[in-house]
């Protein structure tokens, strides 16, 4: 059986944007993408801008999502946003377990797995981030860290009916995020192949594995040509319409 995984490129805007800047970015992006073959594309602005971005993208092929989601369904969780609220806002995606959330908000592997299930239960596609720190990489612990982070996710998903449906994994070495450094292509492929092995063993055949960490228009084609890289999660370059659209094209070409 040939498995076709449509490439996916998602922009993580982080805590950037304004009504004016968002409008300019989306308008430029739609013009740039209209002239190119695009893979599945999504953008994840900060929560307050989801209605604006949703309105600008309505009727286009570009989808939108959130940068995190609460693992609880409803109730006394001040400041949190639930998956069903994101669904109300037309979201398709929810990034969960980004290293900045793990680092600054103390999110744990278990919590991230519950966030993924909460997203799935509301019909969102969770983009589950994993990745090792510089210290862990230097100590040769990359695969062990990935396994530790994936374990609760895979265990929790095993209990969810109709496994897999739309879960996405993003491998993001923490030391590569926003630094301009990336692992070698061989290094990226080795980690992705390892994640693929874990996913296949769990029956998650269709699951896409994105690479994230200093992806730019200039290195996207090399990274996306790797056999187990199914697209990218893009930070800084997602704020530049031309660079982001070049990255999207690199992913689309891979699909052919």
CB of 177 to ligand PGA, least distance (A): 4
Active site residue 98: yes
The footprint of ligand PGA (CB under 6 A) covers 12, 172, 177-178, 212-215, 233-237
Cβ proximity to ligand PGA: between 116 and 177 the closer is 177
- DSSP type of residue 75: S
CB of 2 to ligand PGA, least distance (A): 30
Catalytic, out of 71, 98, 132, 137: 98
Cβ proximity to ligand PGA: between 39 and 236 the closer is 236
CB of 100 to ligand PGA, least distance (A): 7
Active site residue 172: yes
- DSSP type of residue 60: S
Cβ proximity to ligand PGA: between 12 and 246 the closer is 12
Catalytic, out of 71, 107, 172, 194: 172
* Total residue length of the chain: 256
The answer to whether 127 and 210 have CB atoms below 8 angstroms apart is yes
- DSSP type of residue 16: -
Neighbours of 195 (CB within 10 A): 21
Crossing angle, helix 50-57 and helix 19-34, to 10 degrees? 30
Chain-centre distance of CA 109, in angstroms? 16
Is residue 127 classed exposed, middle or buried when 0-12, 13-18 and 19+ CB atoms within 10 A define those classes? Answer: buried
CB of 52 to ligand PGA, least distance (A): 21
Cβ proximity to ligand PGA: between 32 and 174 the closer is 174
Which residue is at the shortest CB distance from ligand PGA? 235
Of 3, 53, 2, the closest CA to residue 30 belongs to 53
- Active site (catalytic) residues: 98, 172
């Amino acid at each position: 059986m040939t498995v076709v995984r449509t490439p996916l490129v998602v922009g993580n805007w982080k805590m950037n944007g304004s009504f004016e800047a968002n409008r300019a970015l989306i308008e430029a992006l739609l013009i740039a993408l209209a002239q190119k073959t695009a893979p599945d594309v999504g953008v994840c602005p900060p929560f307050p801008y989801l209605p604006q971005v949703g309105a600008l993208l309505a009727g286009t092929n570009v989808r939108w999502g959130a940068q995190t989601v609460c693992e609880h369904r409803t109730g006394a969780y001040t400041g949190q946003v639930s998956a069903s609220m994101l669904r109300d806002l037309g979201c398709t995606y929810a990034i969960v377990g980004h290293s900045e959330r793990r680092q600054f908000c103390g999110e744990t592997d278990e919590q991230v797995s519950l966030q993924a299930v909460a997203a799935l239960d509301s019909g969102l596609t969770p983009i589950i981030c994993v990745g090792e720190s510089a210290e862990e990489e230097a100590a040769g612990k990359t695969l062990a860290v990935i396994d530790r982070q994936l374990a609760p996710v895979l265990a929790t998903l095993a209990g969810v009916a109709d496994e897999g449906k739309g879960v996405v994994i993003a491998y993001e070495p923490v030391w590569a995020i926003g630094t301009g450094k990336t692992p070698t292509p061989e290094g990226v492929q080795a980690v992705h192949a390892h994640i693929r092995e874990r996913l296949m063993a769990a029956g998650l055949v269709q699951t896409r594995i994105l690479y994230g960490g200093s992806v730019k228009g200039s290195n996207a084609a090399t990274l996306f040509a790797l056999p187990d890289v199914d697209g990218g999660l893009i930070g800084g370059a997602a704020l530049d319409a031309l660079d982001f659209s070049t990255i999207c094209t690199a992913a689309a070409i891979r699909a052919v």
